[in-house]
Structure 1
Amino acid sequence: DMYKVLPEDSSKKLGEDLQWYWDKEVQKAKKRGKTPHLTKAIILCYWKSYLVLGIFTMIEVIQPIFLGKIISYFENYDASDEVALNIAYCYAAALSVCTLILAIMHHLYFYHVQRAGMKLRVAMCHMIYRKALRLSNVAMAKTTTGQIVNLLSNDVNKFDQVTIFLHFLWAGPIQAVAVTVLLWMEIGPSCLAGMAVLIILLPIQTCIGRLFSSLRSKTAAFTDVRIRTMNEVISGMKIIKMYAWEKSFAELVSGLRRKEIAMVLKSSYLRGLNLASFFVASKITVFMTFMAYVLLGNVISASRVFVAVSLYGAVRLTVTLFFPSAVERVSEAVVSIRRIKNFLILDEVSHFKPQLHDNNENVILHVQDLTCYWDKSLESPALQQLSFTVRQGELLAVIGPVGAGKSSLLSAVLGELPKEKGLINVSGRIAYVSQQPWVFSGTVRSNILFDKEYEREKYEKVLKVCALKKDLDLLANGDLTVIGDRGATLSGGQKARVNLARAVYQDADIYLLDDPLSAVDSEVGRHLFEKCICQALHQKICVLVTHQLQYLRAATQILILKDGKMVGKGTYSEFLRSGIDFASLLKKEEEAEQPSVPGTPNLKSSRSRTFSESSVWSQDSSVHSVKDGAVEQPPVSTQRTETSQFLFGCVGFLFVCLFGWKYLLFISFWKNVFMPKSSELTFTSDIIHLSAVTAVRSINMPNFLAVLELLGWEGKK
């Protein structure tokens, strides 16, 4: 239900206009060897349109003058003086016109000055966003996300208020001088007593403005720290909950908030003092004026009181409210401008514009004696003395250990890593696939098209070569499924393939691929390498950073980096003949994929079969492929184990029975041989009890249990 933004109020136009003046100011400052001033750029950009609004303020300045002339006419009234009467009519007409204009134009004036503030705020936001996207790595270490958020949420809002009262900085003193002259003509030197009150208020309000500026700087610093801390707390909320650190971090945030509130409270006290001066100053001014008038021996008359009160009333709002508010707002705006300027003068990445040619045969990537530094304070460069040339249809594979400078090389080609010396010649359009895949909030299709026109045949081909067809079939709405912060969650492998599909759909001339195969499993990786890199991009320049050495055979050139230096460059066959280390690593990698014993089933095919049977995802999906690092074994049947345990238990029981029977036979033999026959009857009644007790005692129960446990454990094996 909202209207569209006017073309002259669009962020692009406003931002580019102010950016042009800012760039000119930066260039002039560099020539003079000084720091650029953002205030100058703002004044040069908006002074014409804002000066027109000052005409309305001028009307408020001259209105008390006309009022004073009319009062003077009635004080010196002469019925026979028609000339004075005509002049009085003119003053009355002018006063009426001024009053009418003020009544009609009052709200229109405030609308236009607020619109001017809105334009300045939008232009500043545009410049801050633009700068944030161009910050170099060194500059990013000097600022934080919290500071940028604070600039966009707090500092730019000061421009909405400063334009409302800015004109009263010059209108207030002029009105005060005009009223002083009129009062001098009316009541003489006594007017100086009243004006002295207003004059005393001016330096007080100036001091209050400076205190506002100081408190605003301190408050902004505390706000930056609090926002940065809150971002860290929110990002690590799971860890905080897991370790039950809620109270500690709540106290930390509360302490930072208390410091910020203390500064805000001091600012509120000053603001209240500033506002109180508005209500008190007019009464004190009139009182001091007529007290001095009486002390000088004059007699107060109603006409003089009316004139003085009328003139003081005309200047009261401007001097006691608008002027102090202007001082306060300007002080806050100056602090905001200084903070924004410090952000805008941070280092940017070099402006990189590759040469574009209509003829595809001229596409080339040439690097010669390249040396780059991420941070010049470090002794060792990120890249040192690199030279290579890649032409259309060639694949350059870049390998090396972690921290060798592979990603830095791609950053240098993109222009994000400033070069210290050397040459980088890029002829053609570039598509970059980062090592950390990213998606924005939107549909899968919009993430792949990336504002390009939808071509069904081309789009389907890209999905096929990037192994996304089966994944999209499993999503609720296919490629129209919303992903991102408030949508479906994609796995790392799916994000990597969406990133690759986005680059392939752009149909660029040069492709910089920063290890896109590491986020997917071997099957999907082979598909992406063969179908996408080797077939779909076979007519393009491809620079592939990889740790998977099995793909080096297909590379036209191989570049080996270590500690930012080039330790080897050539073809696969040349490296094999030279016996360089990566050849042995590649050989081991190949042997690991092959069965070591003839007749042993292939590990990869076995893994693929197991995976396809146990997963609802396709074999090409990397969601379950990430979990496919180890071979899945079939579930072990427990039937044989249970049977073996039962059999061994039966054997153990029989062994116990035989052992007991042996002791019964021994007791029976002892009774027949050694016992007298007279005791046969008494013995017979107890034979069963005695034999049982003797048999149980003769058996070592712990040993028996140990034997059973050993037999059971052997059965399990």
Structure 2
Amino acid sequence: MTVLLQSNAESLVSPATTTKQPRYSTFVSANDEADRAKQRLHIAQSRPGTASLWSRLFFSYANPMMHAGNTRQLDNDDLWELEGENRSAAAFDEFVMHYERHDRSIVKAIVTAYGGRFFLCGLAMLFTTACNLFAPAVLNHVITVFAAPQIDMFNLSAWLGVFFASRIVNAVVATQMRFYLELIALRLTMTLKALLFRKAMRRSIQSKGDAKAVDISNLFSSDVNNILFAAFQINSLWIIPIQIVVDVYMLYAVIDLAAFAGLAVIALFMLLSFAIAKLSGSAFEDIMKHKDDRMKTIKEVFNAIQIVKLNAWEDKFADKIQKLRATELSAVKKFMYLGALNIFVLWASSIAVSAVSFAVYAIVMEKVLTAAKVFTAIALFNALRDPLRDLPTVIQTCIQAKVSLDRFSDYLALDEFTPSNVIRHDLAQPNDVVMAIDDGTFGWTKDTPLLSQVNLTIKKGELVIVHGSVGSGKSSLSSALLGEMDKLAGSVFVRGRVAYYSQQTWIQNMTIRDNILFGLPYDNKKYAKVIAACGLLPDLKQFPGGDLTEIGQKGVNLSGGQKARVCLARACYSDADILLLDSPLAAVDAIVQSQIFGDCICNLLAEKTVVLVTHSADIIASKAANLKVLVEDGKLTAIRHDVALPRSSFKLRTIRSAVDEASHDDEAVKNDAGKLIDDEEREEGRVSKEVFANYFNSLGGVKVCVFLFCVQTLWQVFQIGSDLWLSHWTGQKGGSYNQHETAYNVKVYSLLGAGAAVMVFVRSATVAVVGLRASRHLFDNMTVSLLKAPLRFFDANPIGRIVNRYGDDMSAVDFMIPFAFGGFLAMFFFTVCQLGTAVYTMNFLGFLIIPLVWMYVRVANFYLAPSREISRLWKVSSSPVLSHVTQSEEGVVVIRAFGQDTVGRMIKENFIRNDVNSRCWFSETVTQQWFQVRMQLIGSGVIFVVVSGLVYLRDYLSPGLVGLAFTYALKGWSRWLVLVLGLVLKLGLGVKSAVIGCRQLRGRLMLLLWDNLRTCKRVEYPGSSWAVEGWQHFAFCRHRAFDDAKRAPSCCSCCSYRSC
């Protein structure tokens, strides 16, 4: 067991702890730093806003960043700063103006804010579509010229010259269109996330019980992505029908009325695709519903991981999570099978359309099919294949976006916190009154009052003690004073700034000092007084980093008393006029309680108005209180002491000496001793083979890969065989019509095409099945490993990072990676086989393509390294955004209580984190289009070489072979090569993100488990008598919370505890 655990730890350890040499050296000399500074300056000077027109057209301003990414590892400082309306705050302000103008309709706001820009991109997309449809016309003319007794070279050269010019213009327009579409999507994404965060800061506490209150982490990740994908596809909704109509008209010009037979087949398959898309939309709704349930349970379990481990509930909750996951996977399985069926329908439709059209033209209409007609029709059918394939996907994407928009609208429509519940300015109130409730009735629901006929007046500088039995409504009174409860009658008045201590302590994932400062500037003297008065000085001495020690998620590395005192110090440091403290002393012992009451409440806050909720009988009996309020059965009984001792006379200890002791030099902690949260790692260099090996093993190993290889090979055999058969068919004796021979040719062509469609279905279904197997395997392993992890692991890994693994990464494993894997297989085999066929047709001139392939490899290799680095930066910067959102949502009551300035600061922090993430997105978009435009230009060169070779060999090639080679060229090798590389990158980074993300978590926890095994002696497990009577025996034990912490002093030499 020990050996196995050690081997697992060594194989799963994150890259930062392995001995493997990274691609880039981690040592940075002075010269290297100077070179890096020069590179960053060059990158900044070549930003898009200052680039020339030529540089913008071909994205040449990205060259310095591309060069830097090929020489070293990139970081955020190497990326361009966002400018103008690309910043989150600017994009949000613009969108909110439209959002408020249209009665908070998110759909109308999107249309008015971005509709015009989407339409302009649509016009550019329409132009590129027209350029693509121009290619079959050129093909028809070229084959006709080749079939003529004498070739008109001038006419042929003119057509080819116009064609190549259109390809170059098309490459530039297409990449510019995609770039600006990405910019619109970037702004839309930032806006939607900012809108969600603002709503989280505004939504009422009561709305958390609303049935429409979906999980915000899902909205931030999956739903935003669904809307984003629809934004990319929205123009296709109107361009694809236009493309289909024009394509059919061109087919009519080529094969006459037979084109309408093909149109009827298209209509039939479109109806089938619509039905499948509708079923897919329903399945996707089920997926999102089940995912919400799973994510909610996961967040609850890991937020309460201490309780889970204390009660040894790991197996119980693992079973619960896995059952929820099984329910979700059943819906995913249905969705994936429908996707496989949809892909089969799309491929079968193109074969069926061409077969039926040729059969009608040749058999029914009894006309001769020439090479020009056949291959022009094939090119048009190929052009028709994309819109036929894309239309159901576009519809399905829009359906998913509609579901997500409805979820957005439901969330944004939740009840909001009403600031008007509290009156801030009331001339009728005396100047010395800072809080007052007049005939107030409050409740969490409008039908059930919890506090009735409340009358309370609090004057400036008073100490008010609120007490009562458990559940009597003390915390509800605090909520009523903050305006968080529904005010059913009466009025609430508050004058001055408020600081709030919540009964449920809320700690941020940052250092102790930053938690206390809470966004305010650091004042050494004031800060020292606060930590001394709150009794934090002895605790800070125990931490390796003092007050610069980082606090884990929800303060997991602090005791209950320490969390309470940090939160109390936060309220005290705010220097608010009124401090509303809900049971701040409940988590500390009697000695510390007495000290804090004397030093903090009675001395540090002597000039402040303090409302203190407590159960302590000593404090309730204290004569320092000006007003004592008993809460009982929803009623308040207030007893005022007009003659009270000054609070400053309650000096239990001297604060001044503690202040002197607390004042310390910030330079005392210069290392990472106080660092608790590990930075999220990103591997350097190429995606390792181990990552792919782990994923493919999860898929099923070598057997599955061999099976898919055979399926793909058969697919291309059938696909190319059908095309070669057409070439043979049209190469037979022309001008004569033989019905029997024509029927035979149509039958063979149809069977070969049907075989190709069947192989496509087998591949898609297989990828779906093995993809679900890998998804289940990764999820179960990660869940079991996380639940078995020691608590130290959760101190170093925030919940947001874990939730991100279960959210975006598992969605990638469920959907993106299987589809990318299947797409990669299809595009790779398609490109290699059809390129090889064209080269074979050109004989020795096919070697002229080799220099272009070499250029492609060089450009692709130059692009891959920086693209990987930027993609990883984007991934690493995503988790802090989600962590900040979930963390802020949990502490929204505290944030609102501290005032609108604090709310605004949290919104600004959200903007900053979104901008950091969006910088990576923007840079990735630029580099992608830099690569795309160059690949398309190289693809145009491939077409030029193929056509030139065909012209040179015109005396040796039949019109059928010319049509076949030109048709393959028009299929756009540049596009397929880009798709292949893009899918490789997407697949690699997707597998890496999901698998490495899970492995990093598991690797860290396995190392911790291994360390525990190495440092602990072997335990002799008791026999069956343990179930009846057991003892826990501690002898000379000393403990510490984590490796760098000081050992706690031994409190006893030997002690035993007997089980009950």
Query: Residue 82 of structure 2 aligns to which amino acid in structure 1?
Result: L
Match of 1:535 in 2: 603
Alignment partners' CA distance in 2, 1:244 and 1:531: 40
TM-score, scaled to structure 2: 0.48
| Aligned match for 1:311, one of 380, 388, 391 | 380
1:165-176 paired onto structure 2 within 5 Å: 165-176=233-244
**Residue aligned with 1:441, SS:** coil
| Aligned match for 1:507, one of 552, 555, 575 | 575
1:94 to partner: Cα distance: 7.0
| Aligned match for 2:270, one of 191, 202, 209 | 202
| In the alignment, structure 1 residue 545 sits paired with structure 2 residue 639 | no
CA contact (8 A) 1:144 1:228 kept: no
| Aligned match for 1:298, one of 364, 367, 385 | 367
CA contact (8 A) 1:66 1:91 kept: no
CA contact (8 A) 2:283 2:331 kept: yes
CA contact (8 A) 1:15 1:127 kept: yes
Q: 1:97 to 1:569 in 2, by over 3 A?
A: farther
| Aligned match for 1:337, one of 383, 405, 409 | 405
TM-score, scaled to structure 1: 0.69
Q: Deviations over 1:427-462 (max 9, x none)?
A: 211101122333222222111111111111111121
Match of 2:82 in 1: 6
| Aligned match for 2:445, one of 362, 375, 394 | 375
Match of 2:114 in 1: 46
1:415-564 paired onto structure 2 within 5 Å: 415-485=483-553, 489-551=557-619, 552-564=622-634
Q: 1:254 to 1:446 in 2, by over 3 A?
A: closer
1:92 to partner: Cα distance: 7.9
1:309-708 paired onto structure 2 within 5 Å: 309-317=378-386, 319-351=387-419, 355=424, 364-378=434-448, 381-485=449-553, 489-551=557-619, 552-571=622-641
1:234 to partner: Cα distance: 4.8
Match of 1:286 in 2: 354
Query: Residue 370 of structure 2 aligns to which amino acid in structure 1?
Result: S
Alignment partners' CA distance in 1, 2:155 and 2:479: 78
Match of 1:664 in 2: none
1:230 to partner: Cα distance: 3.8
Q: 1:435 to 1:238 in 2, by over 3 A?
A: closer
Query: Residue 281 of structure 1 aligns to which amino acid in structure 2?
Result: S
Alignment partners' CA distance in 1, 2:159 and 2:376: 16
Q: Which runs of 5+ in 1 are unaligned?
A: 28-36, 78-85, 575-615, 617-631, 636-717
**Residue aligned with 1:438, SS:** coil
Alignment partners' CA distance in 2, 1:127 and 1:326: 26
1:25 to partner: Cα distance: 4.0
CA contact (8 A) 2:213 2:411 kept: no
Alignment partners' CA distance in 2, 1:473 and 1:543: 31
1:144 to partner: Cα distance: 9.8
CA contact (8 A) 2:128 2:174 kept: no
Q: 1:423 to 1:88 in 2, by over 3 A?
A: farther
1:113-132 paired onto structure 2 within 5 Å: 113-132=181-200
When structure 1 is superposed on structure 2, of 273-282 and 260-269 the one drifting more is 273-282
Q: 1:271 to 1:101 in 2, by over 3 A?
A: farther
CA contact (8 A) 1:145 1:228 kept: no
CA contact (8 A) 1:233 1:249 kept: yes
CA contact (8 A) 2:507 2:563 kept: yes
Match of 2:279 in 1: 211
Match of 2:821 in 1: none
1:371 to partner: Cα distance: 1.0
**Residue aligned with 1:554, SS:** coil
Q: 1:390 to 1:255 in 2, by over 3 A?
A: closer
Q: 1:486 to 1:356 in 2, by over 3 A?
A: same
CA contact (8 A) 2:433 2:458 kept: no
* Percent of aligned pairs sharing the same letter: 33
1:569 to partner: Cα distance: 4.1
CA contact (8 A) 2:580 2:612 kept: yes
Higher relative contact order (CA 8 A, sep 6+): 2
1:166 to partner: Cα distance: 2.3
Alignment partners' CA distance in 2, 1:72 and 1:176: 19
When structure 1 is superposed on structure 2, of 94-103 and 560-569 the one drifting more is 94-103
Q: Deviations over 1:482-513 (max 9, x none)?
A: 22349883332222222111111111111111
1:470 to partner: Cα distance: 3.1
1:326 to partner: Cα distance: 0.9
| Equivalent pairs, count | 556
**Residue aligned with 1:154, SS:** helix
**Residue aligned with 1:512, SS:** strand
Alignment partners' CA distance in 2, 1:448 and 1:173: 60
**Residue aligned with 2:522, SS:** coil
**Residue aligned with 1:483, SS:** coil
1:361 to partner: Cα distance: 6.2
**Residue aligned with 1:365, SS:** strand
Q: 1:233 to 1:450 in 2, by over 3 A?
A: closer
Alignment partners' CA distance in 2, 1:49 and 1:470: 60
Query: Residue 6 of structure 1 aligns to which amino acid in structure 2?
Result: L
Specify the structure having the higher radius of gyration (Cα).
1
1:168 to partner: Cα distance: 1.2
Alignment partners' CA distance in 2, 1:397 and 1:128: 38
CA contact (8 A) 1:384 1:565 kept: yes
CA contact (8 A) 1:398 1:546 kept: yes
